[in-house]
Amino acid sequence: MDEEPLGLWTIAVIGAIAVVGFIAAWETAVRIGIIDAFFLPAPSMIIKRAYAMAATGEKILLHDVWKSATRVLIGFMLSAAVGVPLGLLMGMSKYVRAALNPIVSIIRPLPALSWIPLSMLWLGIGEQQKFAIVFMGCFASVLVYTVAATLRVDVILQRAARNLGASRLQVIRHVTLPVALPNILSGLKVVLAIAWTCVISAEMVGANSGLGFRIWTGKEWSDTGQVLVGMISISLTVLILDILFRGVEWLLLPWQREGTGT
């Protein structure tokens, strides 16, 4: 039996009710002693801890959010600046693809954590090391997503453009890139989440600021509230960046915007 699709407002209301119900159940379970507040503080306790970290003293929470987000964005944008053009080149040239695929196959399985010791030997524990960790953790994924998106472009469209007199650069600009761009951007959104994994790992190992450092410090001092504040801050920051990324998509893909009437 087919069901009518839910409207946006209905989905939003159902989601809001579910979230409020979950938070209320969590708060109640801690208050009546079903859950030990030491292991899992109530939401109200976490909010108080977040306020103390954000509004007093050196405002360490806001500083940590800023440092982590900056490290993520710089490393991510560097990986995109190198990986997207190179991925387009690999997708369009079988010779370049044959030459670089073995190298990519070696780099791709390496997790971000495996780069941390080497990057510390090369760059110390400064900001450049954090940028490098994010770059190295994201680069191979950006490359693979871009190559896959480029290979999905219909060859018939490219041949038709060339038959109409378009140069190779014009084919890339007016056919290959516009067709591949939606899939490239979808891949970049996935890689942005990977970038956060990279930076949090790097901050836990060698840093004196950032959300990863704050989470690790909370663990060392058995401060569960601080750990949860750090985790929730990551989720909220990623949510904000995802909204901003959707804005970038809206600007870069006007033909899709027109198709949806927005």
Q: Domain for residue 220, yes or no?
A: yes
d(CA 151, CA 143): 12
Q: Domain for residue 28, yes or no?
A: no
At residue 258 the predicted structure's pLDDT band, cuts being 50, 70 and 90, is: low
Q: Domain for residue 148, yes or no?
A: yes
Q: Domain for residue 9, yes or no?
A: no
pLDDT one-digit tens code per residue, 68-100: 999 999 999 999 999 999 999 998 888 999 999
Output the pLDDT for position 178: 84
Q: Domain for residue 1, yes or no?
A: no
Provide the CATH number for the domain around residue 223.
1.10.3720.10
d(CA 40, CA 37): 5
Output the pLDDT for position 227: 92
Output the pLDDT for position 27: 92
Output the pLDDT for position 166: 76
Check whether 57 has a pLDDT greater than 70: no
d(CA 75, CA 78): 5
Output the pLDDT for position 215: 92
Mean pLDDT of 149-172: 81
pLDDT one-digit tens code per residue, 193-218: 889 989 998 898 878 889 999 999 98
Q: Domain for residue 47, yes or no?
A: no
Mean pLDDT of 24-51: 91
Q: Domain for residue 189, yes or no?
A: yes
- Are 75 and 165 spatial neighbours (Cβ–Cβ below 8 Å)? no
Mean pLDDT of 11-26: 89
3-state percent helix, strand, coil for the chain, nearest multiple of 5: 80, 0, 20
Give the range of the structural domain holding residue 119, as residue numbers without chain letter. Answer: 59-260
- Count of structural domains within the chain: 1
High-pLDDT (> 70) share of the chain, %: 94
Output the pLDDT for position 118: 86
d(CA 25, CA 40): 13
d(CA 260, CA 115): 43
Type of residue found at 102: P
CB-based contacts of 209: which residues, under 8 Å, 6+ apart?
Answer: 63, 64, 67, 203
Q: Domain for residue 40, yes or no?
A: no
